[in-house]
Structure 1
Amino acid sequence: MTRAQTITAQRVDPVTAAVIQGGLETIAIEMGHKLMRMSYSSIIRESEDFGAALTDATGRQMCECKMSTPLQSGPIPGYVRNILEVTARRGDQIRPGDVIMHNDPYGGASHGPDVAFAVPVFLDDTLIGFSVTTAHHLDIGALSPGSCGIVDAVDTYAEGLQFKAIKVVDRGVRNEAVWQILRANIRAEEMVVGDMEAQIEAARIGAERFLALVGQYGLPTVMDAFEDLLDYSERLMRDAIRALPDGAYTATTHIDGYLDDPDPARRDLPIVATIRVHGDSLTVDLTGTAPQVSDKPINMPLVGTVDCAVWLTIRSILLDSALYGDIPQNTGLTRPIEIVAPEGCLANPIFPAPVIARFCPGNQLADTVMKALSQAVPGQVSAGIGNLRVVAVSGLSKGQHWVHMEIMEGAYGGRQGMDGMDAVDTLYANTRNNPVEDIESHIPLRVECYELREDAMPAGKWRGGIGTRRIFRFLDDAGISIEGEGHKYAPWGFDGGAEGRVAALTLEAGDGTRRSLPSKLPYHKVRAGDRLVAEGPCGGGYGNPLERDAQEVLDDVLDELIGTDSALRDFGVVIRDGALDLAGTEAERARRAGG
């Protein structure tokens, strides 16, 4: 008998359960909106790099905010479980009125800058759950300004302040000593502390709304409905897995690592994923992934990064929202999935190996899982994704620090029936871009160019997504640091589609000299007048390019995505004087096909 067959009968009638689920989701969405509106930084307000969720008293996720990123809301159960473990180990009690801060990257957090604030929810004297917000903070007191782009930390202690289940509010009373430590050790303290206080208020709102929901329906009904929803989500996932052919599916991709490092153990690092399907469950085995880099922060915490990358990818492919609609986003979805990662590899580092730059490797891991699944469900995956990059920019103005984090989009590969999406964040990193107006109104930076790359469209029956070309001019002396991937390894093409395009970064000095930059750059000073030119990656093509509809290729030319030479070279499409030469195209394609 399978696990799905042993799930108990429904405890609550389906209509009531659906209404309660809607109430839970509405609470999480309200938490997210309130957090965005109260935040000081653009990374939360504009890019929506935050999480908001409710859990039960043991840390099982009940719901999450749909606007938040998977890499923020997904780790929240791990945050809560570790908070419970740490407080129990200390002999500490969680009480009404507490607010607990946590950012331990080896204790559920994705990395140190993603700080959680957990508000325990009590009904009378009984702990019934947690209301939690997470958010990326633009400085956490690390060795250089900005909480991303720190690519040279030698261990977790160099990555910034670590808070392991610290009560910033104890039974309703602010722990002022903790807040003083924060302000004394964080650059741009007003912005960062302001964002943290916004998180606390949003979490308190979630706790109040959860109690109101419990008051309306009663705790037994709410919790029984939650158990039913867990079982429902689990059944959906198990049914989707059961539809896969049993077997093992393996894929390998690579990350740049540190391409300019003479030590081969720090560059050209493989990520390997083997998916073993057996009945209604599957195992994702990461054996073969490169060993951890013990003194560089590109390692990925197993809990908080690796698990979220795996779960998000499998859920997105097997339970595509376009087909399944809204599905209760809870812990039930992860029950049928086991993750195996050898201790001491990139995907399961050993403390205190640094992890703050885990963002791009984790996204590449998600891409590798998708490549493995392409062997089982080729019609449900995209070709390789173009990975993202993060640039941290910082400086001093009248003795005050300013910090900005710019997430530079990647691109999706093509998929069956659809071209790849251009210039978007990918997989577990679905943050939004910062509007140019917001950037230029807050920091001394001018965006001189923001456009799709020209004539860089990866070929396929369904083409790969196109990355951006951005040019930033610094209006004042500043510092930059860069965290990225994809300067050497192009996104994979699928089923005859072409590989995507790699990314590139160039620093142009005010005197006109140019310097090509690697995908990772430690803190580097720039001068007023210097420019950073960033070319984003392009996703892989899907399917034989000679099968692409010729009219669509003409449209690509008319849209100035490619030129006529590329149309002929990559797609076998002949275009003369802005019009499609159908006879010439058919002859050219027949010639290439050997017909």
Structure 2
Amino acid sequence: MTRDSMPQVDPITVSVIEGALANIATEMGHKLIRMAYSSIIRESEDFGAALVDASGQQLCEAKQSTPLASGPLPGCVAGIMDQLARRGEVIEPGDIIVHNDPYAGASHLPDVGFYVPVFVGDELVGFSCAMSHHVDIGSYKPGSGGQVNASDAYAEGLQLKALKVYARGQRNDQLWHLIRDNVRMADVVIGDMEAEIAAVQIGARRFAELIESYGLDVFRAACTVSLDNAERKMRAAIRAVPDGDYTGVVHIDGFLDHPDPAYSDLPLSVTLKVRGDEIVADLAGTAPQLPDKPINIPFRGSVDCAILVAIKSVLLDSAVHGEIPQNSGLVRPITITAPVGCLANPVFPAPTMCRYAGGIALSDATMKALAQVVPDKVSAGVGNGGGIVFGGDSGSEAMWLHVELFEGSYGGRPQRDGMDAVDCLFANTRNNPIEDVESHNPLRIERYELREDVAAPGMQRGGLGTIKEFRMLADGSVAAESDGHKHRPWGLLGGEDGSTRATVLERADGSCVELPSKFDFLEYRLKAGDRIRAFGPGGGGYGPPNQRNPEAVRDDVLDGLISRENAERDYKVAFTADGEIDHAATENLRRGN
């Protein structure tokens, strides 16, 4: 059916169908959360769920989704169709497809997706999709994070490239045996996969019922209008930005202890070329790929998500524009390019397992570029996140693994301080409750609080990181992939730079060692009683510190977030002996007297 032959659909019908699609995706998310075995899905909600039409356009996504898991789904559908076509295979009713190829739309191997094709009669009309992070994918070391020495994609685990776990409704037992036999903690991994399948099956059923309610022609016409409306909103937002080229460059640590300088202090560059109602994001100037270290970032599945989420969140802030359907219309006016062979467009089989920190930095660089032209709509630099994996009893039936996602923090904003202790930008996962961690793992969290006296000074201060302290209750090991141990989040418009991240190992005998940002499982073997102390980063400050409201400074002092000495030094706010603001002394300090 062409656009000209589509029936006319009134705005109310379009809105009702948009709402119905969003509700279907949200139901998929709830089902997945309720049925998942692992805490990274059940509590951290590191997953995405969406409905995609037959041409690969996303129609909606679950509100619980993290952008890093929902954003790749349209690209995965395109990758699946391409791979099946190359093999001469076709999609049929009753098929369920598993896919995790980072070079065909997926984000990295642990993010395994399941896809159910939806048919009306004999016609393929779309896909019900879900992607989740799994605790193990059969890589060379336990866990699905901290595989920082993977030499190539083959060392990172099972590559599941557009394979049918169900074909015409029949379970492919041989494929399931292969997966079970090649992952650690197989009951948990398979249980999470079956939860995903249940979610996409209910999504496919609801999708088909919705189409049946309105008829395929009306449904398609409504989706076309919805996609076009989203595109118009994005184009209007881009037109409000003056034409020009705006470049943001940030650096990630990479591997600071590597003898080759090409492995550390790596630049990621984003130039936004605004022309009329379109943007080209050009990543020229980004560091070359690392052929044997897994911090390369898949171009389709991670890089696109990082760039797009930053542009969408700044130019179409929901606080200003209200709820906007999250569909592919929003990305039509935006093109992304990156030199082949750079860190943001690697060539297979370059490993990609630990692409997370680089992806956050790309979002941050995009924000930094936008800060040049719309500084009233962005935050200062964000504190990068990352993750740490605890585990023990490797290879035994009693083996355990826990994936702990580190919080980051946002920089100060035009009217508000930066957000404290949150995952940021394209990650946006949830905090893992202490009770859940301790009830499923031999770990005790003995300290979890905001860091004090590290908030970046600014008219609006940077957000605060956390201190989280884990005590091992059994022997085991730990692995980590994070960043920001050297490079501080950038300040904006006179705000100061933020604070770095740090991870410390304290042995039971009291000896301490500061750990690098990235290290493999079994590099540091832990004994019961050893502790890991994780210090989260602080976001950058926004605006000159001496323009901060003295009452806000006083509140931070009373809350223990900054000291009186730092208030006077950084913000030029003086206090009387009883803790009240000394307005005369403050005025003198701010005048430079």
- What letter corresponds to residue 356 of structure 1 in structure 2? M
Matched residue of 1:224: which SS? Answer: helix
1:158-557 equivalence runs, <5 A:
158-396=155-393, 399-523=397-521, 524=523, 525-557=525-557
Contact 1:101-1:164 within 8 A present in 2 as well: yes
- What letter corresponds to residue 574 of structure 1 in structure 2? A
Q: In structure 1, what is the Cα distance between the partners aligned to 2:8 and 2:320?
A: 27
Q: In structure 2, what is the Cα distance between the partners aligned to 1:228 and 1:98?
A: 30
Q: What does residue 26 of structure 1 align with?
A: 23
The reply on whether 1:580 has 2:581 as its aligned counterpart is yes
Shift of the alpha carbon at 1:11?
Answer: 3.7
1:36-51 equivalence runs, <5 A:
36-51=33-48
Shift of the alpha carbon at 1:399?
Answer: 3.2
Q: In structure 1, what is the Cα distance between the partners aligned to 2:84 and 2:270?
A: 35
Q: What does residue 558 of structure 1 align with?
A: 558
Any gaps of 5 or more consecutive residues in structure 1?
1-5
Runs of at least 4 residues off by over 2 Å: 6-11, 397-400
Q: In structure 1, what is the Cα distance between the partners aligned to 2:412 and 2:536?
A: 16
Any gaps of 5 or more consecutive residues in structure 2?
none
Shift of the alpha carbon at 1:123?
Answer: 1.0
Contact 2:6-2:221 within 8 A present in 1 as well: no
Shift of the alpha carbon at 1:575?
Answer: 1.4
Shift of the alpha carbon at 1:10?
Answer: 9.1
Q: In structure 2, what is the Cα distance between the partners aligned to 1:109 and 1:11?
A: 36
Q: What does residue 3 of structure 1 align with?
A: none
Contact 1:7-1:231 within 8 A present in 2 as well: no
Shift of the alpha carbon at 1:403?
Answer: 1.0
Contact 1:486-1:537 within 8 A present in 2 as well: yes
Deviations 1:159-180 (A, max 9, x none): 0000000000111111000111
Q: What does residue 106 of structure 1 align with?
A: 103
The reply on whether 1:570 has 2:570 as its aligned counterpart is yes
Deviations 1:523-543 (A, max 9, x none): 132111110011100000000
Matched residue of 2:592: which SS? Answer: helix
Q: 1:253 to 1:352 in 2, by over 3 A?
A: same
Shift of the alpha carbon at 1:441?
Answer: 0.3
Q: In structure 2, what is the Cα distance between the partners aligned to 1:399 and 1:158?
A: 23
Q: What does residue 32 of structure 2 align with?
A: 35
- What letter corresponds to residue 177 of structure 1 in structure 2? Q
- What letter corresponds to residue 15 of structure 1 in structure 2? I
Q: In structure 2, what is the Cα distance between the partners aligned to 1:24 and 1:290?
A: 40
Contact 2:496-2:541 within 8 A present in 1 as well: yes
Q: What does residue 147 of structure 1 align with?
A: 144
TM-score, normalised with respect to structure 2: 0.98
Contact 2:148-2:294 within 8 A present in 1 as well: yes
Q: 1:126 to 1:490 in 2, by over 3 A?
A: same
Deviations 1:336-357 (A, max 9, x none): 0011100000000000000010
Shift of the alpha carbon at 1:389?
Answer: 1.8
Matched residue of 2:197: which SS? Answer: helix
Deviations 1:457-493 (A, max 9, x none): 1100000000001111011011110000000000000
Q: In structure 2, what is the Cα distance between the partners aligned to 1:383 and 1:541?
A: 6
Contact 1:11-1:228 within 8 A present in 2 as well: no
Q: In structure 1, what is the Cα distance between the partners aligned to 2:294 and 2:110?
A: 13
Identity percentage of aligned residues: 56
Matched residue of 1:40: which SS? Answer: coil
Q: What is the root-mean-square deviation in Å for CA atoms of aligned residues?
A: 1.3
Q: In structure 2, what is the Cα distance between the partners aligned to 1:108 and 1:213?
A: 27
Q: In structure 2, what is the Cα distance between the partners aligned to 1:227 and 1:540?
A: 41
Q: In structure 2, what is the Cα distance between the partners aligned to 1:392 and 1:147?
A: 8
Q: In structure 1, what is the Cα distance between the partners aligned to 2:477 and 2:163?
A: 32
The reply on whether 1:67 has 2:68 as its aligned counterpart is no
Contact 1:385-1:540 within 8 A present in 2 as well: yes
Q: In structure 2, what is the Cα distance between the partners aligned to 1:97 and 1:251?
A: 47
Q: In structure 2, what is the Cα distance between the partners aligned to 1:514 and 1:23?
A: 55
Q: In structure 2, what is the Cα distance between the partners aligned to 1:358 and 1:322?
A: 30
Shift of the alpha carbon at 1:251?
Answer: 1.5
Aligned residues: 587
Shift of the alpha carbon at 1:400?
Answer: 2.5
Matched residue of 1:86: which SS? Answer: helix
